[in-house]
């Protein structure tokens, strides 16, 4: 689903409504900018002007780094860039005092990790800032003696002692959806629904096309043009109206590409156990005071994906996936609800996607199973504008 993770197509729309225009587009990784065969993502300094520190990384990773900084400091794009940059990509290149300070901080953090932690990422912007524009240097008595917030599960589940078995949890999930035989009979679907971004009230129409085993696309029909995320089983792209992005059609790299693959896999979850590896179960956790079972897998050993299952129904309630930026892990969380039966298979008709730069709500209104889908729906999209 995106049906599991909605990528930059929806992020473009939300950030535009917030006045941030696509900075912090996606949560992605710094693992060399790998994409599918024949697709090389544009490099940051070849698209943006005045890039001085974050060179040599794909545009989506560069934008993810902006999102990490924004979330860590609780600042919007125009807080660091000049106000005029809200309406002009060219103005983002203008230097400001805050940008110059940020460059120094990036160098400092890199030096700390290299010098004192053997190059491991132990210190990030968030380590000190925690959502504030200035690090706190004095302990807070309110925080010390106040009610602590509920602990979040760790990013990575470590194997300690006797490993907990994951097969029963995953098998129960498949059974709760309708069983392996019914899932195998669902080979494609076309869904229609609505999208609402953070702070919005108007619902925007969307369409989802999915074909087993690993093809999926989503189209959000915005008022200024379509925003598209497509994955053909090997290569993924996002496309958005040209006014909203410096790269109207962008090949996905590394973590974002893995996210698109995960969306396709979870559209047909019968093969989920084989799609990921390094499965391990974590200690029980809770969502809204509701106990859940936690299972973690990984596509290639680099990007963990946490799954939260309802032990009573066996259904999937939440997925949290991570991708890397040069500064740290960028989380994306998807919460599922309103499971309904389609061709004997239960599917979530409502989900909320939350990431460092926004939140959106997707609601399906109609799902047509086992219908023919033109292969062009999963091919490289084109930018559009009305």
Could you read off the pLDDT of 19-28 as tens digits, one per residue?
332 333 232 2
- Asked if residue 156 belongs to a domain, the reply is no
- Asked if residue 292 belongs to a domain, the reply is yes
Distances (CA, A) of 34 to 40, 226, 324, 356: 7, 26, 13, 23
Residue 320 phi/psi, 5-degree rounding, is -125, 120
Instruction: Pick the closest to residue 3 from 260, 309, 321 (CA basis).
Output: 260
Q: What residue numbers bound the domain in which 307 lies?
A: 1-149+165-386
- Asked if residue 158 belongs to a domain, the reply is no
pLDDT value, residue 153: 64
pLDDT value, residue 40: 79
Number of structural domains in the chain: 1
Instruction: Pick the closest to residue 295 from 322, 313, 270, 273 (CA basis).
Output: 273
pLDDT value, residue 8: 37
Predicted TM-score (pTM) of the model is 0.83
Intra-chain end-to-end CA distance of the chain, in Å = 28
For the chain, 386 residues long, the average pLDDT of each consecutive 10-residue run is 34 36 30 49 88 90 89 88 79 90 93 94 91 88 84 66 78 97 97 91 95 96 92 93 79 87 94 91 87 89 89 96 85 95 97 90 98 96 71
User: How many residues appear in the chain?
Assistant: 386
- Asked if residue 157 belongs to a domain, the reply is no
Q: Which two tokens stand for residue 28?
A: 């992605």
- Domain containing 228 — which CATH number? 2.50.20.10
- Asked if residue 154 belongs to a domain, the reply is no
pLDDT value, residue 24: 30
- The DSSP result for 320-358, as a single string, is EEEEE-SSSEEEEEEEEEEEEEETTEEEEEEEEEEETTE
Q: Which residues partner with 204 through β-bridges? A: 195
- Asked if residue 155 belongs to a domain, the reply is no
pLDDT value, residue 55: 92
pLDDT value, residue 234: 93
- Asked if residue 5 belongs to a domain, the reply is yes
- Asked if residue 361 belongs to a domain, the reply is yes
pLDDT value, residue 385: 58
């Amino acid at each position: 689903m995106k049906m599991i993770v909605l990528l930059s197509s929806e992020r473009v729309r939300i950030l535009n409504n917030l006045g941030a225009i696509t900075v912090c587009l996606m949560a992605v990784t710094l693992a060399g900018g790998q994409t599918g065969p024949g697709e090389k993502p544009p490099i940051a300094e070849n698209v943006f002007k005045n890039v001085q520190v974050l060179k040599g990384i794909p545009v989506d990773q560069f934008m993810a780094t902006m999102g990490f900084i924004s979330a860590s400091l609780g600042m919007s794009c125009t807080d660091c860039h000049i106000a005029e940059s809200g309406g002009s990509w060219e103005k983002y290149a203008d230097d400001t005092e805050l940008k110059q300070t940020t460059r120094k901080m990036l160098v400092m953090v890199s030096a700390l990790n290299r010098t004192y932690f053997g190059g491991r990422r132990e210190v990030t912007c968030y380590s000190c800032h925690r959502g504030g524009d200035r690090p706190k240097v004095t302990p807070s008595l309110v925080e010390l003696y106040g009610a602590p917030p509920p602990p979040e599960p760790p990013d990575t589940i470590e194997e300690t002692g006797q490993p907990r078995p994951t097969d029963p949890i995953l098998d129960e999930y498949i059974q709760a959806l309708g069983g392996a035989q019914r899932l195998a009979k669902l080979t494609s679907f076309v869904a229609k629904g609505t999208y609402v971004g953070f702070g919005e009230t108007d619902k925007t129409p969307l369409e989802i096309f999915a074909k087993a085993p690993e093809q999926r696309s989503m189209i959000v029909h915005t008022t200024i043009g379509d925003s598209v995320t497509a994955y053909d089983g090997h290569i993924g792209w996002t496309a958005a109206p040209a006014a909203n992005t410096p790269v109207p059609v962008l090949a996905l790299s590394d973590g974002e590409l893995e996210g698109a693959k995960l969306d396709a896999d979870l559209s047909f979850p019968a093969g989920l156990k084989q799609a990921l590896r390094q499965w391990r179960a974590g200690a029980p956790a809770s969502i809204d005071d509701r106990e859940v079972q936690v299972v973690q897998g990984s596509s290639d050993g680099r990007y963990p994906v946490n799954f939260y299952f309802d032990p009573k129904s066996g259904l999937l309630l939440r997925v949290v996936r991570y991708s890397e930026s040069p500064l740290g892990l960028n989380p994306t969380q998807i919460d599922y609800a309103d499971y309904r039966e389609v061709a004997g298979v239960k599917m979530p008709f409502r989900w909320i996607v939350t990431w460092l730069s926004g939140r959106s709500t997707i609601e399906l209104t109609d799902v047509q199973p086992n219908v023919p889908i033109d292969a062009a729906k999963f091919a490289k999209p084109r930018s559009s504008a009305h």
